[in-house]
Structure 1
Amino acid sequence: MIDSRASLRRYLAEDLAAHGLTRWRTRYRLTRRNVYFQRLLRKSEYWANVRTDPVGRAVFVWYAVRTKLLGERLGYTVPRNVFGPGLSIAHTGLLCVNSGARVGARCRIHQGVSLGNGADGRYPVIGDDVFIGPNAVVLGVAIGDRVEVRAGAVVIRDVPEGAHVAGVPAKVIDKRDEQRISGTQST
């Protein structure tokens, strides 16, 4: 969570690095809208968490409105204080995140992803260095670090760290199955 100006700078720098960029440029407001959205989201988080004086509240409202309007235009429903540093939203398109979800550092998310609460009322808790492919659905489960959720997977059970999951409902795929899918042979 962003709790100081230094942590805001760190989050912004790690978000840019996750997109392969070294520094912010004004033209990204038009050419890289998803990066611009993330920048607005982080600034909104900072003003909501740190500055509670009247001026801070006014600036927060300004950033919150701008984030909401751009999010609607891009198809994002992303609440504040859910994602850790190094977030990479890969494409524009539907992205729905429940406000109770918690996502770790260096997570890459593609279009069509939904992170929602499960039938038992639990919220998704996602570890660090996680890749979530297009049109994946994660419902109220814990996902470990370094996990790959493949395209179209529906994750309804907890996933251990380092696993690759795919299918409806999602199942862990071991290395042998992964090699068979990609057409490579191990020696």
Structure 2
Amino acid sequence: MISSKAEYKAYVLADKKALNIGNGRFTWIKQMIAPDYIWKFQKRLRKLEYYKNCRKDIIGKIYYNLLKLRHRKLALKLGFSIPENVFGPGLSIAHHGTIVVNSKAKVGKNCRIHVCTNIGASGGSHKAPQIGDNVYIAPGVKIFGDIEIGNNIAIAANSSVGKSFMEENILIAGSPAKKIKEVEIKKLIPHAD
């Protein structure tokens, strides 16, 4: 969760690295001609988190509400329902398309998430998944309930995860999900540490 201007800048840099956005002299020109809307979404998300958590003055609150409107419009365009203060630094959204995340969920750093993914509560409970660092979430994954997913885990496409997995460096798959094999997460998330 962003708690200072320095932390806000660190989150944006980590997201930029995760999305492989260049630092070249003409990157800003490329963004004007052919904007990367996912990068735009993530920058707005981080700015929204900064203003929500750090700027309690009246101008900060007014600007937060204006940002929230612009952010919501872009989220609808891309198909994202991702609330503030859920994802740690190094978030990489692979494609635009439906992604729904519960506001009570928490996801660690260096998460790579694909389309048609749902991370939410289950059975009327308000408790949502707590997901560790360096987690790869493939397309179509459903993660639900009061569960924990450990660090360095890959979740295969179209899996349904309704129980906790704490063992590191594994691939889980299926419906219901189960451990399939060991995996080297660096091959799926190159920016993971």
Equivalent position of 2:116 in the other structure: 112
The answer as to 2:130 corresponding to 1:125 is yes
TM-score, normalised via structure 1 length: 0.89
* Cα drift, residue 26 of structure 1: 6.1
Q: How does 1:46-57 map to 2 (within 5 A)?
A: 46-57=50-61
Gaps of 5+ in 2: 184-193
CA positional deviation for 1:33: 0.6
Q: Deviations over 1:148-175 (max 9, x none)?
A: 0010000011012222111111111024
Determine the C-alpha separation between the residues in 1 that align with 2:175 and 2:48.
Answer: 36
Q: 1:87-106 maps to which residues of 2 (within 5 A)?
A: 87-106=91-110
Q: CA deviation at 1:130?
A: 0.3
Give identity over the alignment, percent.
37
1:25 and 2:55 correspond: no
Which residue of 2 is the match for residue 153 of structure 1?
159
Higher-RCO chain (CA-CA 8 Å, sequence separation at least 6): 2
- Is the 1:28–1:36 Cα contact (8 Å) retained in structure 2? no
User: How many correspondences in the alignment?
Assistant: 176
Cα deviations across residues 97-122 of structure 1 (Å, max 9, x unaligned)? 00000000000000010000123723
| Aligned-CA RMSD value | 1.7
Aligned match of 1:6: 6
Per-residue displacement from partner, 1:4-24 (whole Å, max 9, x unpaired)? 110010000000000112447
Q: Can you list the C-alpha shifts for 1:15-51, whole angstroms capped at 9, x where unaligned?
A: 0000112447364365311111000000001011111
> What is the CA–CA distance in structure 2 between the aligned matches of 1:96 and 1:174, rounded to whole Å?
27
Letter in 2 for 1:57: K
One-letter code aligned to 2:143: V
Cα 1:40–1:10 shift into 2, 3 Å? same
The question of whether the paired residues in 2 share the 8 Å contact of 1:144 and 1:159 is answered with: yes
Q: Partner letter of residue 25 of structure 1? A: W
Q: In structure 1, the residue corresponding to 2:143 is in which secondary structure? A: strand
Q: Where does residue 39 of structure 1 map in the other structure?
A: 43
Partner Cα separation in structure 2 for residue 128 and residue 26 of structure 1: 33
**Separation (CA, whole Å) in 1 of partners of 2:105 and 2:30:** 32
> Hey, which bits of structure 1, 4+ residues long, moved more than 6 A?
none
Aligned match for 1:142, one of 111, 134, 148: 148
Is 2:73 aligned against 1:69? Answer: yes
Structure 1 CA distance, aligned partners of 2:130 and 2:76?
25
The whole-number CA distance in structure 1 between the counterparts of 2:124 and 2:59 is: 41
Q: Summarize the Cα distance change of 1:107–1:38 in structure 2 as closer, same or farther, 3 Å threshold.
A: same
| Distance in structure 1 (CA, Å) of the matches to 2:161 and 2:59 | 43
